[in-house]
Amino acid sequence: MNTDALTKLRAYWEDLRADRIAPYRSELDPRRFEDVLEHMFILEQLGPDQIRVRLGGLALCEMMGMEVRGMPPEALIDSPHREAFRSHITAVLSAPAVLELDLLAADAQGRPMRGQMLLLPLRSDFGEVTRILGCAVTERIPVRTPVNFGIEAHRITVVHGFAGDGEAPGALPGFAEPAAGFSGAPSLREVIDNPAPMVSRPRRGHLKVVPER
């Protein structure tokens, strides 16, 4: 299991936030963690009880067997554990806090397959903690999709720091969200209008590095 991806992302996030409660989403520079992009995702809070996947790496799409943008993140979690998972996500945003999850699922042969997930709070351009930077890894590539994980253990660490004021700094070059699709390609729509996104094949363009001009 590629736990190095979790360690590297956590260290980058800690360095970026410095003494603040959370870094701005626009401060993320994917060139610093390009080798773990496929395991990453970003969640966005659209309302009090509405959280959706804003960006999803290829590994997450492969776990679900479909495009994950616009999906509720609890779709990855087995039904008996979803309420607890939603509660944990709420804590990440409200405390704010760092969440670590030990996950367990079954593969196509019924063998146990372990995974880990890391969730890190982010601030929007308005300074509110309404984004989450996530990373999920498994001990082997799933051959049956979708994968629904149970939660074996969780660790929540409340973040202490300076909240800060003012708007976010300018976005660093490189962290590009997918552009809105043209009218002839209806398989993806804007997240706010897409509570139940249509299925499409995973593509590597979800999280990408754009050369600086």
CA distance 198 to 201: 10
pTM to 2 decimals?
0.78
* Chain position carrying tokens 């626009």: 26
Domain locations in the chain as residue ranges: 3-162
| DSSP code, position 109 | T
Confidence of residue 169 (pLDDT cuts 50, 70, 90): low
CATH number listed for the domain at residues 3-162: 3.30.450.20
* Chain position carrying tokens 């709420």: 90
Residue 135 has pLDDT above 50, yes or no: yes
pLDDT value, residue 1 = 74
Mean residue pLDDT of the chain comes to: 81
Q: Judge contact between 63 and 83, C-beta under 8 A.
A: no
Average pLDDT over residues 49-69: 92
